[in-house]
């Protein structure tokens, strides 16, 4: 269950499970939407922090409303910005993730990959989770895993694609070179 007694979509629960959040982790979620994953991650943090970004002002308002206690406690930072323009510092994050952020399969995502390569620490992990089939027109039955993995490899990430039938999702994992 998420905050306010609502049901957590299975692919979001799976994404957070795959993160294997440690109490001191520094995590970036991009495309945070209404902040459901932020709530799940914050429950697992002690001295760590999640930074949640989204380009949508509406999404940011919803994330802040849902996670005000985490923000007040310093375990969550919420910012309206698209990933390509995110100014995080070099090696600032241990892990980064997104659920159904389509830029990685609809374009080369050069700027986004460059940002992730900069802000993830050496050996840091990126998890991109997509519902199967991914949302959007003309994608029915399309497996985006190989395309997304290839884009990440071009930016120095080693990659792996995992599918799970329970949430009906796939995860492209990228590891930043040490």
What kind and span of H or E run contains 85? none
What per-residue confidence (pLDDT) applies to 142? 59
CA nearest to 98, candidates 37, 25, 177, 162: 37
The CA-atom distances, in angstroms, between 115 and each of 41, 61, 156 are: 22, 24, 12
- Exposed, middle or buried: residue 156 (CB in 10 Å: 0-12, 13-18, 19+)? middle
Domains and CATH numbers, the chain: 3-176 (3.40.50.150)
Q: Let me know how long the chain is.
A: 178
What per-residue confidence (pLDDT) applies to 131? 82
Residues of the chain with pLDDT under 70: 1-6, 132-142
What per-residue confidence (pLDDT) applies to 134? 46
What per-residue confidence (pLDDT) applies to 165? 80
What per-residue confidence (pLDDT) applies to 140? 44
Assigned token pair, 108? 């080369």
- The conformational region for residue 118 under phi > 0 = left, psi -120 to 50 = alpha, else beta, is alpha
Contact at 8 Å (CB) between 38 and 32? yes
Whole-number Å distance between alpha carbons of 44 and 40:
7
Whole-number Å distance between alpha carbons of 68 and 143:
37
Contacts of residue 142, defined as CB under 8 A and 6 or more positions apart, other chains included, come to 133, 134
Q: How many Cα neighbours within 13 Å face the side chain of 154?
A: 14
Q: Return the DSSP state at 44.
A: T
């Amino acid at each position: 269950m998420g905050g306010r007694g609502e049901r957590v979509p299975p692919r979001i629960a799976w994404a957070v499970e795959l993160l294997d959040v440690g109490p001191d982790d520094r995590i970036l979620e991009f495309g945070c939407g209404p902040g459901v994953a932020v709530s799940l991650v914050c429950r697992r943090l002690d001295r760590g922090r999640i930074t949640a970004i989204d380009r949508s002002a509406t999404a940011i308002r919803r994330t802040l409303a849902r996670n005000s206690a985490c923000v007040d406690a310093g375990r969550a930072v919420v910012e309206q910005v698209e990933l390509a323009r995110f100014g995080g510092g070099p090696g600032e994050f241990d892990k980064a993730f997104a659920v159904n952020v389509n830029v990685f399969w609809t374009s080369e995502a050069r700027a986004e990959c460059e940002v992730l390569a900069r802000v993830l620490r050496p050996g840091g992990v990126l998890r991109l989770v997509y519902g199967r089939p991914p949302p959007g027109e003309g994608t029915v039955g399309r497996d985006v895993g190989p395309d997304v993995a290839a884009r990440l490899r071009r930016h120095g990430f080693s990659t792996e694609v995992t599918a799970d039938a329970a949430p009906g999702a796939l995860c492209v994992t990228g590891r930043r070179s040490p």
